[in-house]
Amino acid sequence: MKHLRSIDELGAKGLLELLQLTVHMAEINQRPVPKVPALRGRTVASLFFEDSTRTRLSFETAAKRLSADTLTFNVSTSSVNKGESLRDTVATITDMGADAFVVRHKSVGIPWQIEQWTKASIINAGDGAHQHPTQALVDCYTIREATHTARFDGMQITIVGDIKHSRVARSNIQAFTMLGAKVTLVAPPTLLPPDVSHWPVEVNHHLDDVIPTSDVLYMLRLQSERMSQGHVPTLREYSEQYSLTQKRVARLRDSAIVMHPGPMNRGVEMQIDPSDIKNSLIHRQVANGVSVRMAVLFDLLGSGANLGGQA
Amino acid sequence: MSINARLNTPHEVMSATDVRRAIVRIAHEIIERNHGIDGLAIVGLQRGGTWIAEAITKQINEIESSVTVPVGALDVSLHRDDIGIRPVSLGAITDIPFDLTGATVVLVDDVLFTGRTVRAAMEGLNNYGRPRAVQLAVLIDRGHRELPIRPDFVGKNLPTQKDDDVSATSDGVRITAMNSSNK
């Protein structure tokens, strides 16, 4: 694998291989000294044109635990402010010896565009409302860890909220269905994309209908920063119908698990503290983020899979 | 029979019984060398060394029934010096459920060849604590060392060509001569 840009590009086989590799990385993170020399001498550059806490820090932690060097590009203090183009920025960092770029950008397709300007591997850390493949890997790994099942055949996964703007939803729908799960989307019609009828999912507009039959309830953040206007009448009305409340949690199955990719909007889609939910995996999602990203970096830079037949 | 008929055909150099006897002898040698089993821990290298480590430990625990010697497994693939040079497949994970600090650790592998796996293992081991001493037991020493590494306990010294294939299981040890001109 040369790049990780979308779950469909990765494919089911690649998905399963990365999930297996993550088991090894999780063991490293349990050690008294959680660091291996595997990627010594490699350089990972993070190129974030959008804000991030979890993804950027977990990629940097992952790179460091594999002994790679890290370059962090901070848009707000960079020469982008002097008018340097994306192309020149990528070329500059490539010249400094970056072996991989971790890219987040508001525009769809940037990771494919950048490929033409660098020999380095490219990891998509979010491109617009398109893809966020490492988040999907984290979520699949977290569900596996909690349910002790390798595949999700027959599992009912419900994704709730702002589907339209969510790259997490798009990556997760692909990954969950690759592993055999049945996915139901719950959102008001205004927060569903126009082409949803072509997706391998069911759609329901009423959260209360699907609560009792869900094995996994995946809450999405309402992305107010991407809303021009008119997607929801008021935040209060949205919360009334689509937020997770004490009452709704009580109607979940005993074994049902609750997930959220973060950051959370407390009082909007989450009207309950996650620590009050018995089977919340929200903390596991963050903890597993490092192991998953170690697996991705190792696969791209260290596994020898890119040697092109030399083996 | 022409010389070529033997190429690419496995040839048995140790039978299952030979392997079992070598393991019993190594178990005795480990106890003798360390004047008992105080502070002893056995660590097999994933994946070929783990079954031998378990067999040696079982044997030691039968000889010295007073204390139980702990056994672990170490995967060295992320500590290797050839990462990025050849494909890596991680087959098994490390499982060392005890503290190594102050212990006398006997590393166990099936075949000692270049010594690079053992170097990686010594580096990996340090992440689990600081052993008092590290010793090395191997079922087969086939020579061709590329590093200054020497085993403390050996099942059998086996002279080989560099491109021969040596496989060691509990059913016996087999060597396959590879004709490089046929590749």
Name chain A contacts of B83, Cβ cutoff 8 Å. Answer: 38-39, 302, 304
The tens digit of pLDDT for each residue in A191-212 reads: 999 999 999 999 999 999 999 9
Rounded to two decimals, the ipTM of the complex is: 0.73
Is B130 in CB contact (< 8 Å) with chain A? no
Asked whether the predicted pLDDT for residue B182 surpasses 50, the reply is no
Name chain B contacts of A310, Cβ cutoff 8 Å. Answer: 86
First to last CA, chain B: 22
Output the pLDDT for position A308.
44
Beta bridge partners of A45: A71, A101
Here the tokens at position B19 are 């392997």
The tens digit of pLDDT for each residue in A41-65 reads: 999 999 999 988 899 999 999 999 9
d(CA A23, CA A17): 10
Output the pLDDT for position A69.
96
Using CB atoms and an 8 Å cut-off, which of residues 63-82 of chain A contact chain B?
66
* Mean pLDDT over the full length of chain A: 92
Output the pLDDT for position A309.
36
Interface test with B, best of A22, A24, A25, A28 (most B CBs within 10 A): A24
Q: Tell me which amino acid residue B148 is.
A: P
Same fold across A7-132+287-301 and A133-284: yes
DSSP code per residue over B4-26: HHHTTS-EEEEEHHHHHHHHHHH
Mention every residue, 6+ apart, whose C-beta is less than 8 A from residue B32: none
Interface test with A, best of B75, B81, B86, B90 (most A CBs within 10 A): B90
Beta bridge partners of A104: A48
d(CA A207, CA A160): 8
Is there a contact between B88 and A301 if contact means CB atoms under 8 Å apart?
no
Average pLDDT (A181-197) is: 95
Q: Tell me which amino acid residue A123 is.
A: I
Is B78 in CB contact (< 8 Å) with chain A? yes
Asked whether the predicted pLDDT for residue B4 surpasses 60, the reply is no
Q: Are A73 and A89 contacting, i.e. CB atoms less than 8 angstroms apart?
A: yes
Asked whether the predicted pLDDT for residue A75 surpasses 90, the reply is no
Is A266 in CB contact (< 8 Å) with chain B? no
Output the pLDDT for position B2.
47
Domain A133-284: CATH superfamily, name plus number: Aspartate/ornithine carbamoyltransferase (3.40.50.1370)
First to last CA, chain A: 15
Q: Are A104 and A115 contacting, i.e. CB atoms less than 8 angstroms apart?
A: no
Task: Name the range with the highest mean pLDDT among A25-34, A75-84, A172-181, B82-91.
Answer: A172-181
Output the pLDDT for position A296.
97
b (16+ CB within 10 A) / e for A30-65: eeeebebbbbeebbbbbbbbeebebbbebbbbbbbb
d(CA B6, CA B115): 28
Asked whether the predicted pLDDT for residue B183 surpasses 50, the reply is no
* Mean pLDDT over the full length of chain B: 90
B25: closest CA of chain A, how far (Å): 33
Span of A178-187, A226-235, B116-125 with lowest mean pLDDT: A226-235
Q: Are A302 and B88 contacting, i.e. CB atoms less than 8 angstroms apart?
A: yes
Q: Where are the domains of chain A?
A: 7-132+287-301, 133-284
A66: closest CA of chain B, how far (Å): 8
DSSP code per residue over B108-140: EEEEESSSHHHHHHHHHHGGG---SEEEEEEEE
The number of C-alpha atoms within 13 Å of B159 and in the hemisphere containing its C-beta is: 0
CATH code, A7-132+287-301: 3.40.50.1370
d(CA B179, CA B161): 10
DSSP code per residue over A77-143: GSGGGGT--HHHHHHHHHHTT-SEEEEEESSTTHHHHHGGG-SSEEEEEEETTTB-HHHHHHHHHHH
Name chain B contacts of A31, Cβ cutoff 8 Å. Answer: 94, 127-128
Residue of higher predicted confidence among A122 and B66? A122
Here the tokens at position B124 are 């990996």
The runs of H, that is alpha helices, within chain A are: 7-30, 54-65, 86-95, 110-114, 133-147, 167-178, 207-210, 235-242, 246-250, 282-301
Q: Count of residues for chain B? A: 183
Q: Report if pTM > 0.95.
A: no
Residue from the list A24, A33, A39 with its beta carbon closest to the beta carbon of B93: A24
Name chain B contacts of A23, Cβ cutoff 8 Å. Answer: 93
d(CA A116, CA A119): 8
> Which residue of A lies nearest to B121 if distances are taken between CA atoms?
A36
Beta bridge partners of A185: A159, A203
Q: What percent of chain B has pLDDT over 90?
A: 76
Average pLDDT (B110-118) is: 96
Residue of A214, A235, A227 lying closest to A279 (CA atoms): A214
Residue from the list B84, B87, B93 with its beta carbon closest to the beta carbon of A27: B93
Output the pLDDT for position A200.
96
Q: Are strands B40-45 and B153-157 parallel, antiparallel or unpaired?
A: unpaired
Is there a contact between B86 and A311 if contact means CB atoms under 8 Å apart?
yes
Other Cβ atoms within 10 Å of A70 Cβ, number? 17
The tens digit of pLDDT for each residue in B137-157 reads: 999 999 999 999 999 999 999
B180 band by pLDDT with thresholds 50, 70 and 90? low
Average pLDDT (B168-177) is: 94
